[in-house]
Structure 1
């Protein structure tokens, strides 16, 4: 999804001023000099902004009428990058309510601060400042994440079972729409089972063989079990396509216990590796966290239970199935994986299909979860110190964190989401943009 940025050059009626690196002020008298500055800046934008950013035709503001003209094309703009060279009243520009990034030259904020005093920043949350191209890029990236969220639709397939509090996973859909712009589309378990019945056997067999061929080992599950999970995977894909959804929360407990569907953790892991965030146990809160971390990082994420929080060693253990093999990035090579049984359907013996992926020891990670009412994101960073194949969940991570006790007491739920890399600074800025608090452990 592209992001449209319109450069806006504030020239005004008086002579523009360009602060220099040595602190001097260059007063621009000749129009040609101003035009050259604008041309140079536009060329730099094209070189330094991300490939998914479209730079629209620039607008030069000299009087109020120019802002009126700018308003006419506001519908095609995602953000305004306002390069302040001169001064003029800009209240009407702020009233457009578009995201506005103020800039007045690399490391020279004077003109931007004149044009947009601190009072304006406090009363207009759509206004931010940038000191250099890195900050411009960073802010555009955050705005593009917010745009992607607003254009995301979630398929809620099945629902939670009443097994002691699983309703905590599902925030109010109106709150989700208001805060993030995301739509939730429910698909009943019966509808999903009907979808599974119409899938071609040849397609199921082809996918199953691909999974087996790409696996490091596949000794536990039978071919029939792998095929059944491939069938579930295709059914999920079909549902996503029909309702034009980009992510899914699966009521896997309902599907397994009430409809007899084979445990299908590997189907969700595969979707994640394909860039489709997918949570289990109907956990929409975890899915929203996956969406945010995934859109920030362009990486799939892992979610799991907090099975241990050791305050003496400051180790948190997170355990689950559905482990992506491309945790390093969607465009990076896959980690080797073993196809193994899940123990989530029957605890006495394994069944269905999940995977074990030996994730990288020494890797820095971010661990996060959004609270159910979407008022806060709770987060910490840590380092993976061990990754084990365990029962009943087949992947358990030992993560060394700064304060395991504080992490536990801040936790707004059980399932937490793990992504490679430290994204706490980005989450801090994005949480402000989305109207949430960042609670860091």
Structure 2
């Protein structure tokens, strides 16, 4: 379908699949991201756009995840659709919410991670912060890929006034590159 329609990005209303087909789209979305097609879940178009802009800027896949647990300056992000090319220790597990289908579990190495999200009614706002991956003990009560990121000074803002639920995670420091890319559009990423 991606090839026949010439798509470079796609989002899927995953929970509709659960009801209609009795399975999840997590594995398909993971594989599409590995193959260079930006693929997001739950029909979240602003998050998909954030992922796609990052792919254009970096040539790399990113990870759409929920900020699930707030621990002071640390945030645990989790989801079941990570591209296998950007994590280690890949395991196929059941989808967290439904217990059916395949959810992808992988681990991130320590290092810098950028968290980002385009949002607002006209997509004129952006949240972007750089942090560090820190050790995290896997929890069964969260989606299958989990990463804990230390975000000093911004974790509280992310929890109180997010631009949306899903945020996009990318290895490395991308804030300056995003700032340069968004400047012509009048989108300020702040300090």
Same fold (TM over 0.5): yes
User: Which blocks of at least 5 consecutive residues in structure 2 are unaligned?
Assistant: none
| 3-state SS in 2 of match to 1:275 | coil
CA distance in 1, matches of 2:184, 2:22: 40
- 1:254 corresponds to 2:16: yes
CA distance in 2, matches of 1:277, 1:390: 27
Higher relative contact order (CA 8 A, sep 6+): 2
Instruction: State which of 129, 132, 148 in structure 2 corresponds to 1:383.
Output: 132
Runs of 4+ residues deviating >4 angstroms: none
User: Which blocks of at least 5 consecutive residues in structure 1 are unaligned?
Assistant: 1-238, 328-333
Partner of 1:423: 174
CA distance in 2, matches of 1:410, 1:425: 22
Partner of 2:61: 300
Which structure shows the bigger proportion of residues in strand conformation?
A: 2
CA distance in 2, matches of 1:396, 1:250: 21
Partner of 1:80: none
Partner of 1:289: 50
Instruction: State which of 90, 114, 117 in structure 2 corresponds to 1:337.
Output: 90
Instruction: State which of 89, 114, 117 in structure 2 corresponds to 1:369.
Output: 117
For residues 397-433 of structure 1, what are the alpha-carbon distances to aligned partners after superposition, in whole Å with 9 as ceiling and x for unaligned?
1100122113334520111000000100011111112
| TM-score, reference length from structure 2 | 0.90
CA distance in 2, matches of 1:411, 1:317: 15
Query: Residues 392, 309 of structure 1: CA spacing in aligned structure 2 closer, same or farther, 3 A cutoff?
Result: closer
For residues 292-349 of structure 1, what are the alpha-carbon distances to aligned partners after superposition, in whole Å with 9 as ceiling and x for unaligned?
11221221111111112233xx00111111111222xxxxxx73411111123x3xxx
Partner of 1:407: 158
For residues 350-382 of structure 1, what are the alpha-carbon distances to aligned partners after superposition, in whole Å with 9 as ceiling and x for unaligned?
21012211211x210100000042111111111
CA distance in 2, matches of 1:414, 1:253: 16
Query: Residues 290, 422 of structure 1: CA spacing in aligned structure 2 closer, same or farther, 3 A cutoff?
Result: same
1:255 Cα deviation after fit: 2.0
Partner of 1:193: none
CA distance in 1, matches of 2:95, 2:157: 32
Instruction: State which of 323, 332, 335 in structure 1 corresponds to 2:82.
Output: 323
Residues 106 and 144, structure 2, Cα contact 8 Å, conserved in 1: no
Q: 1:71-150 alignment to 2 at 5 Å?
A: none
CA distance in 1, matches of 2:172, 2:141: 27
Q: How many residues align?
A: 188
| 3-state SS in 2 of match to 1:419 | strand
For residues 180-223 of structure 1, what are the alpha-carbon distances to aligned partners after superposition, in whole Å with 9 as ceiling and x for unaligned?
xxxxxxxxxxxxxxxxxxxxxxxxxxxxxxxxxxxxxxxxxxxx
Partner of 2:38: 277
| 3-state SS in 1 of match to 2:55 | helix
Residues 310 and 405, structure 1, Cα contact 8 Å, conserved in 2: no
CA distance in 1, matches of 2:46, 2:93: 27
| 3-state SS in 2 of match to 1:342 | coil
CA distance in 2, matches of 1:437, 1:401: 19
CA distance in 2, matches of 1:413, 1:407: 9
Which structure shows the bigger proportion of residues in helix conformation?
A: 1
| 3-state SS in 2 of match to 1:436 | coil
Task: Work out which of the two has the higher radius of gyration on C-alpha atoms and give 1 or 2.
Answer: 1
Residues 277 and 287, structure 1, Cα contact 8 Å, conserved in 2: yes
